[in-house]
Amino acid sequence: MSGREYVDSVIQRVQKRDPDQPEFHQAVTEVLETLVPVFDRHPEYRKARILERITEPERQVLFRVPWQDDKGEVQVNRGMRVQFNSALGPYKGGLRFHPSVRLSIIKFLGFEQVFKNSLTGLGMGGGKGGSDFDPKDKSDDEMMRFCQSFMTEMFRHIGATTDVPAGDIGVGIRAIGYLFGQYKRLTKRFDGVVTGKGLNWGGSQVRREATGFALLYFVEEMLAGIGKKFDGRRVVISGSGNVAMYALKKAHELGATVVAMSDSGGYIHEPDGVDFETIRRIKEDERGRIKDYVKDRPGASYHEVCKGIWTIPADIALPCATQNELDGDDAETLVKNGCLLVAEGANMPCTREAIRVFHKNGVAYGPGKAANAGGVSTSALEMSQNSIMLMWTFEEVDAKLKQIMKNIYAAATRAADEYGCPGNLETGANIAGFVKVADAMLEQGLV
């Protein structure tokens, strides 16, 4: 059986087994299609059925989360944790609280996390979890009651050397605090069972900034690879959460100008450059909406259709909002407007058609599993600090983070060269992440 035949058979098997999970199918197809030359070169992976094993989670836990709102009414949400692969270390991956959460999305995120964590070079397996709970407009008491109920079930499945969740969409420092407090209450343990903790109780410097900063460090490497620099570049960033905000900050520090940002309601355009402190205040202090930005910035305009952000001419596009937000038509528009580079700050924000457009037109493309690995990298650094009961400075953590992103870029570039796809960071990242996990699975036997 050729590598192509083997890969196609596994994709068909996944689609047949879970026909109602399109996001998971998309993630599996995106990775496996780039691995064909690996299986032509390594028949031992086929013999050991590595793909059949790696596309099936080691464990999936679904549970009910009952909680009481401020009106005294009982609400019921669904919680879940998918522990995908532990060949390289304890399961590691975020929790997402959002109405869109369902098993297909959590499985796609967990599957991607396996290879992302592998690329960091740190000892982490892959997992993901969350709930269809919507934290928007919830009071602190409502968030606390929900998180306590969620952790009352999840605590029995996690641990500092077993499974270490972090934050994701809808899960910031407020939720992490309530989750950790309930874990400590139930187990009588104060350990590194979650990351993204407050600095006063086991957290790490740079954690809030990590994914956004690291995205720009990766883009810096990509630009160098095509003989370009940041100076004077115009950047469009979708989203306005932590990743987008701190990508904005680092882009300006590196000499670029961010001209547009968005949220689910619409986008802002400010040709002279979006102001970081105004965005930070609106989103972090006031928990407001992106449309509030124009009240304080007369040079900015607000537009209600958020997808329109990709019509703004820019040298660099950074999708940092959510999955499948940038489609083939958006990609064609970016190309037409002279975009040089696209790097994913979110998980799978570009559709397969969009990625094909980028490759066809020579637009440098940085896949999320490489470009947005900064968050989980800093989570691993937080775990390291917890284990030795020390706290590194901001500068120390930031330097380690920058080196990790350099290493990821180098590993993806080497793999792409080795397998005959020079410059293709998508293929290179998938192969580099996969081979490390596959070799560990072979060495650990049939588990």
Give the pLDDT of residue 412. 98
- CATH class, domain 210-362, is alpha beta
Label residue 351 by pLDDT band (50, 70, 90): very high
- What is the per-residue pLDDT across 193-212, written as a single tens digit (0 to 9) for each? 999 999 999 999 999 999 99
128 an active-site residue? yes
Determine contact, residues 273/257, Cβ cutoff 8 Å. yes
Which one is the CATH code of 59-190: 3.40.605.10, 3.40.640.10, 3.40.50.300, 3.40.50.10860? 3.40.50.10860
What's the mean pLDDT when you consider all of the chain? 96
Residue 89 has pLDDT above 90, yes or no: yes
Strand ranges (E), 321-441: 341-343, 364-366
Alpha-carbon distance values, 61 to 107, 154, 195, 288 (Å): 11, 9, 20, 34
Determine contact, residues 247/280, Cβ cutoff 8 Å. no
Listed by start position, the domains of the chain span 59-190, 210-362
Q: What is the DSSP letter of 286?
A: S
Alpha helices in 130-273, H assignment, sequence order: 140-154, 173-187, 210-225, 242-253
Give the pLDDT of residue 1. 84
210-362: same fold as 59-190? yes
- What is the per-residue pLDDT across 356-368, written as a single tens digit (0 to 9) for each? 999 999 999 999 9
Question: Which of 116, 128, 138, 249 is labelled catalytic?
Answer: 128
- What is the per-residue pLDDT across 110-162, written as a single tens digit (0 to 9) for each? 999 999 999 999 999 999 999 999 999 999 999 999 999 999 999 999 999 99
Q: What torsion do the CA atoms of 344, 345, 347, 349 make, to the nearest 10 degrees?
A: -50
Label residue 447 by pLDDT band (50, 70, 90): confident
Residue 394 has pLDDT above 90, yes or no: yes
Q: How many CB atoms lie within 10 A of CB 336?
A: 11
Label residue 301 by pLDDT band (50, 70, 90): very high
Label residue 270 by pLDDT band (50, 70, 90): very high
Looking at residues 42-53, what average pLDDT do you find? 97
Q: Which residues make beta-bridge pairs with 59?
A: 83
